[in-house]
Amino acid sequence: MVSERPEGIVLGGLLTPLGLIQAVSEYSQRHGIRSGLAIIKRRFLRAFASAGVRFHEIAGARLIYPVDGPASPYFHRHLDPVVPVYWLVDEIAPEAEQAIARYVDGRSPPPSPPRESTRNDNKSATPSLREPSPRRSP
């Protein structure tokens, strides 16, 4: 899943992914799953860290996604690089709950001023969702 706001990420913009982390953590704990693995954008990683939700970067990892793959623009030629991360469910579940509680209680930091997006809108990984398909003549 990709969840991103073009003008930048603030804690309010993290509520959906924080809720997903909380739901996945609860599911994982019920089924004895102790950790998870993901590839996320560096900017997203920093936003989570500023909200108190810490992922662990996988040191020495390298990108092997094909340059001509359907999601290539997400991984290649992008100003905001992807970062492979892992998390431990017992660590991240309470961090996500605390971050959600801070936001709900109004104790979250004030929204950051809008920043320019680092998304690569010129070459979408899913052009059919962003651009109308060309009309074909009968």
Q: Give alpha helix (H) positions in the chain.
A: 15-30, 42-50, 72-75, 89-104, 127-130
- The answer to whether 55 and 45 are in contact (CB under 8 A) is yes
Q: What is the pLDDT of residue 115?
A: 46
Lowest mean pLDDT among 24-28, 34-38, 125-129: 125-129
Q: What is the pLDDT of residue 125?
A: 39
* pTM for the structure as a whole: 0.64
Domain 11-115 has CATH 3.10.580.10: no
- Average pLDDT of the segment spanning 25-35: 93
Q: Are strands 82-88 and 35-41 parallel, antiparallel or unpaired?
A: antiparallel
- Examine the pLDDT at 112 and tell me if it is beyond 80: no
- Examine the pLDDT at 129 and tell me if it is beyond 90: no
Q: What is the pLDDT of residue 118?
A: 46
pLDDT category of residue 10 using cuts at 50, 70 and 90 = low
